[in-house]
Amino acid sequence: MQLVPVTPEAALERADEAVDLLLEAGRNPGDVLVLTTGAPHPWQQHELSFGEERYWAQLAEGGDVFYADLATVRPVRREVVVLVLGPAAAGRAVRTVEQALTHAVSLLVVCGATEELAGTPIAGGQAVPA
């Protein structure tokens, strides 16, 4: 697990940067799942504008980065999950990260207020400078 400590308001932007870095490092876009807490990612909103059926079909196809709300994502596992701990996750970071871990095969990148994770067994992650 990698922790990217930033304010909840900056978490979405840092998550997008993390996705870019993963892709630049050679990760296949279909291996990456971005999960948000609270408000949907703008790209998720865009994809949903084409209809719910088409949106979920993209998840099954697995050819591109998929964006979803942690609360509504279907049971899926991808190699890498980037979790956006936005303001809605305040006070629930440990539970939220545990839930996101069920979707990650090899790496979970947590962007947001990660200080709630300090001192917990889940905090074995590596902090990345903000």
pTM for this structure? Answer: 0.89
- Compute the C-alpha angle 37/41/47, nearest 5°: 130
Q: Which residue has the tokens 């998840």?
A: 59
Alpha-carbon distance 122 to 112, whole Å? Answer: 15
The domains of the chain, with CATH numbers, are 2-127 (3.40.50.300)
Which tokens sit at 100? Answer: 């996101």
Q: How far is CA 86 from CA 7, 19, 66, in A?
A: 8, 16, 18
pLDDT in tens, 48-98: 899 999 999 998 899 999 999 988 888 889 999 999 998 877 778 888 999
CA 16 to chain centre: 9
pLDDT in tens, 64-76: 999 999 888 888 8
Q: Which residue has the tokens 């591109």?
A: 64
